[in-house]
Structure 1
């Protein structure tokens, strides 16, 4: 299990080191660390989907001097005394902030399933079908809209679950086993956060349930990961089984709520049949006098998720309220100037521009642009020693903003249906592929701007760096020849605008008070 993840991360690290210099982000492995603060009042924060931290009820724990608890303690000590080398490695791997590990697992699965379904022998395409996940083709195709949605639901479930866990922790105040028995050698750094219920178990169960729904062919793999994680919680000396069982109960409850929302958010209708796709294209042609044509080879008959712009947003009621201004007319001076600009970039490609285009490519077989920003967030959360509750809060709001921005971006893409440079500039070639959806606005730009704004809110000391990286991600698509410059500039503004709705929501959840 761990070898697969480490191999992927090693590959990512090598690619990063080979493709970037100066202060572009790099993957940094991490181990357990001392939290910057415990957030004792975290159980009072406002969840995303639950009414409150108290909404999920669990059983009152046994007293620490009860025979049942003392028996649990002895069982844990016996298990710790007979740990195998593999179990010790697992305890070290999962750390005391395992939400980051589950995020990395999600990124691994996104990269594995981020593959375009191939054409049939007769040239037609069969779409991945959740009712028949084995296919062919296998379900899902983890493209950027799918990826940002999977990350958002997992992160929100983790965050809501840990608010509930923090509520019960400080309501019952049951100390961790290693605090009650000095003979127990805790695997991680000491902290004063109560152990009941286990926050690690909440994260494990919620993550496993969400990822199994999103990647059904990985059900067995995810079960194995969860079992190893739950066992590691006990073998670390941090939780007895009743702590873990209570955490699992919260994880089941919160993931059930999240998956109920997911079942009705409209994503199942995002990939349309050809007739619907053609009608969307015709509406844009009638409205504006232009339409995007897919120039992929071989050509797929339907664009990627034309109705993703109709999916329910997290923090905005009406997607049209954040729809950007119309792109330039095809005979305007602004448009003609952009043709000249793109030709100049193509004719005078520098090593630095090529490096930037390649670094932010995040195409097929990768964890996509949303995944790239999750990796950046993971590094920052370790650097600033965030506790598990703070970690899931950061990931939840960032991924909510990324998903909302993606929905807004796809609304604009298929409303305006704007042609890409390769369609409008004779003989023009890209260095970054040909995406199967309209040009305006740039998904990379919108995703990156939204993510960078949330990270700037959580880590204000890093704001200038985060925004600079977002702008670099945006211009990378222009360097690559995939987008017009106004796709990137307007997309960046769009992502920042959408993210502000999420940030306003975060500012009202009680964590900043």
Structure 2
């Protein structure tokens, strides 16, 4: 179906103008705190991902609101609110009642900051970033698309599980928020009837700081500072007393430890294989198919990007073979020769619209990568539809699991087939979008985008046509840029959709839509 659309997809370019004409850089979303469209009182019964249920992590009952301990906390909170500085007021306004979006923005900011190719040493050797010595040189991490997809997946999954647990205890203990008990408290955000114990904001702050500190170890001090600001704002907003916050931190830390234990053993530490392993993968592909990808990037890095990312543990797909696509065309086949003709024609007729599409979806070095691009879209929809923190975290969790699974499936295909890129096969061919350091088939942009779009189409059915159109434009953008063959894009799009079906099936069974 997508192949038939390749020749007419230019009309989709206008759709993107509905979202943004700006450069794809991380920016704080300008929005005010909003009233949630629903409270999801049964959210504590939803099926989480890392734990068996919302009750799997124990949390003691809070003190009664009539107790002297609680009344003292209430008095302390009111006193602190009465002495707020202008800076603290700005912080309260910034964090809003749905800080899931803010921590997602912080993650995208860090991905863009660390999405830089490590340079060569003075003696011509090439050192890879290492978590054992993150200060480098080069600094750790290199936040390329596979790394970004994984960081976002662990962040959002831990946030989701933490909030399922928080919602379980909120409605088990039903401790009303301070502003619901004392009319003198001027709550900074729109009021709701969601109980305050444990603080969902504190869960998010603790989880986010813990996960991102491991993913970006050089940013620990920065993340601690953001966490402290966020935690303080929870009290100064009038939404939580200190024991609400302490309980949320406790839950967040316990969930984070489970997420990080999985991350430590998911295989990512082996993804950037040494040259000998990389060379053996290349030789195996040549024996199997009679072709191989050669890196034409200048200067040439000795090893392709994460050759073993395809072996990293998946979230919802049973194994990479379940979504491995069919083999690409033989290099002397009519299908291949027709694609050579198509790419030569695109190169000879680089229209302003095609260049705009290629540039908009480039998501290259110094940006938040294709996974980050889709997180930006998800974040905008979350605000548009006024989701509460729990449902927001669920949206990010399922989308980012699908994106990461899609990346794993894509990288399996890339290094199993080891298919050469157009610049390698077409004499004198030039790209307008750089030369990636990994094989051509399938297109990462296509897989990441289709996987994300299908999850967003499930969660936001009103936006299904729009997000699927974006995914197809992201796919063709890489062909317009000269980076990929059209079958890299079309098959990659189907691959991403295939991956997403597994994720959506899990989401349909978690209880949130019942």
- TM-score band, normalised by shorter chain: over 0.9
For residues 425-464 of structure 1, what are the structure 2 equivalents within 5 Å?
425-464=426-465
Aligned with residue 17 of structure 2, among 15, 22, 25: 22
**Alignment match, 2:50:** 49
**Alignment match, 1:206:** 207
> Is 1:306 matched up with 2:301?
no
**Alignment match, 1:66:** 67
**Alignment match, 2:495:** 494
For residues 398-409 of structure 1, what are the structure 2 equivalents within 5 Å?
398-409=399-410
How big is each residue's C-alpha offset from its partner over 1:278-322, in whole Å with a ceiling of 9 and x where there is no partner? 000000000000000000100000000000000000001211111
Q: Could you list the runs of 5+ residues in structure 2 that have no partner in the other structure?
A: 1-13, 22-26
For residues 279-298 of structure 1, what are the structure 2 equivalents within 5 Å?
279-298=280-299
**Alignment match, 1:104:** 105
**Offset of 1:122 from its aligned partner?**
2.5
How big is each residue's C-alpha offset from its partner over 1:69-125, in whole Å with a ceiling of 9 and x where there is no partner? 000000000000000000000000000000100000000000000000001122221
- The 3-state SS of whatever aligns with 2:278 is helix
> Is 1:341 matched up with 2:342?
yes
**Alignment match, 1:229:** 230
**Offset of 1:264 from its aligned partner?**
0.2
Cα distance in 2 for residues equivalent to 1:326 and 1:24: 36
**Alignment match, 1:90:** 91
**Offset of 1:171 from its aligned partner?**
0.2
How big is each residue's C-alpha offset from its partner over 1:348-381, in whole Å with a ceiling of 9 and x where there is no partner? 0111100000000000000000000000000000
**Alignment match, 1:374:** 375
**Alignment match, 2:256:** 255
Contact 1:63 1:69 in 2 (8 A): yes
**Alignment match, 1:148:** 149
**Alignment match, 2:196:** 195
Contact 2:15 2:466 in 1 (8 A): no
Cα distance in 1 for residues equivalent to 2:50 and 2:253: 14
Contact 1:450 1:498 in 2 (8 A): yes
- The 3-state SS of whatever aligns with 1:60 is coil
224-233 or 121-130: bigger deviation: 121-130
Cα distance in 1 for residues equivalent to 2:73 and 2:248: 16
- The 3-state SS of whatever aligns with 1:117 is coil
Cα distance in 2 for residues equivalent to 1:345 and 1:320: 33
**Alignment match, 1:270:** 271
- The 3-state SS of whatever aligns with 1:413 is helix
Contact 2:74 2:241 in 1 (8 A): yes
Contact 1:20 1:355 in 2 (8 A): no
Contact 2:458 2:464 in 1 (8 A): yes
| Backbone CA RMSD of aligned residues | 1.0
TM, length-normalised to structure 1: 0.96
Contact 2:203 2:251 in 1 (8 A): yes
**Offset of 1:234 from its aligned partner?**
0.3
**Offset of 1:136 from its aligned partner?**
0.2
**Alignment match, 1:239:** 240
TM, length-normalised to structure 2: 0.95
**Offset of 1:432 from its aligned partner?**
0.5
Cα distance in 1 for residues equivalent to 2:121 and 2:15: 38
**Offset of 1:25 from its aligned partner?**
4.3
Cα distance in 2 for residues equivalent to 1:376 and 1:124: 40
How big is each residue's C-alpha offset from its partner over 1:203-246, in whole Å with a ceiling of 9 and x where there is no partner? 00000000000000000000000000000000000000000000
Could you say if the C-alpha distance between residues 21 and 369 of structure 1 is closer, same or farther in structure 2, counting changes exceeding 3 Å? Answer: closer
Number of residue pairs aligned between Structure 1 and Structure 2: 495
Contact 2:16 2:470 in 1 (8 A): no
- The 3-state SS of whatever aligns with 1:150 is helix
Contact 2:407 2:444 in 1 (8 A): yes
Contact 2:202 2:249 in 1 (8 A): yes
**Alignment match, 1:420:** 421
Cα distance in 2 for residues equivalent to 1:318 and 1:37: 36
**Offset of 1:31 from its aligned partner?**
1.9
**Offset of 1:185 from its aligned partner?**
0.3
Cα distance in 2 for residues equivalent to 1:488 and 1:191: 45
Cα distance in 2 for residues equivalent to 1:36 and 1:128: 44
Cα distance in 1 for residues equivalent to 2:189 and 2:260: 32
Q: Could you list the runs of 5+ residues in structure 1 that have no partner in the other structure?
A: 1-18
Contact 1:20 1:359 in 2 (8 A): no
Cα distance in 2 for residues equivalent to 1:74 and 1:394: 37
Cα distance in 2 for residues equivalent to 1:326 and 1:122: 40
Cα distance in 2 for residues equivalent to 1:278 and 1:264: 25
**Alignment match, 2:35:** 34
Cα distance in 2 for residues equivalent to 1:310 and 1:68: 52
**Alignment match, 1:385:** 386
**Alignment match, 1:126:** 127
Cα distance in 2 for residues equivalent to 1:21 and 1:106: 23
